[in-house]
Amino acid sequence: MKSIFLVRHATNDWVGKRLAGRLPGVHLNAEGKKQAEALAERLFNEHVRHAFQGLYSSPMERAIETADPIAYRLGLPVERLDEVIEVDFGAWEGRELQTLREEPLWRVVQQTPSRMRFPGGESVAEMQQRAVAGVERVLATLDDKGRAIIVAHSDVIKAIIAWYSGTHLDHFQRFVVSPASISVIGFSDEGVPHVVCVNDTAHVPRPWVPQAGNGEEAHG
């Protein structure tokens, strides 16, 4: 069975506060660097049991900074995978989540995201399509039992999980994907996807926990 390990980048000062989107200069904070090291150790232990064949990352700085310790521990190069870059939030980039909750479109992105296009940016459906295309491109490089790691972003990973689990895009917000978490999708010899785990944070010293009723994921 082929396997894709979907890793969300570690935490930074924007998580849960503002939409970083594709803005440059968003780096892991001190806690995020510790998370990235713990994540690298966890994946190294996996690598010892069954070696990974590839390590891919979104081109955003916070993703690369998460992938670098993994690359060092596993002895693999970080390959850029543009298809899993963060959502293009357009005019929403850099804005505080507290103020965005007052926007009429906030209800759309939370309840019917398949109908959502960010002002001046991309639609959630477009994001899902290009992210899944990226996963398929990585899958094509693996042998029958090959495994690869992809470091990406919360909404991107949730959209990928939704696609391969057969979940409608309008329900992708029901998945929780915390900073430095691991989610795994396996693919049988016939190509049938199996969601093995979602949001594994056993290695994270202080995993992020969603607050009931806040209506938002920990973006950033």
Detail the residues annotated as belonging to a binding site for substrate: 62
DSSP bridge pairs for 18: 96
Cα–chain center distance at 177:
7
Tokens of 195: 């969601």
Residues 46/125, Cβ–Cβ less than 8 Å: no
What whole-number distance in Å separates Cα of residue 34 and Cα of residue 157?
A: 22
- Note if 168 is an active site residue: no
What whole-number distance in Å separates Cα of residue 120 and Cα of residue 33?
A: 32
Catalytic-labelled residue, pool 86, 203, 217, 219: 86
| Binding region | 62
Helices (H), 57-148: 61-74, 97-100, 104-111, 124-139
Catalytic-labelled residue, pool 9, 47, 203, 219: 9
- Note if 136 is an active site residue: no
**109-to-25, 45, 125, 185, 219 alpha-carbon distances in Å:** 26, 37, 11, 25, 13
What whole-number distance in Å separates Cα of residue 60 and Cα of residue 84?
A: 10
Active site residues: 9, 86
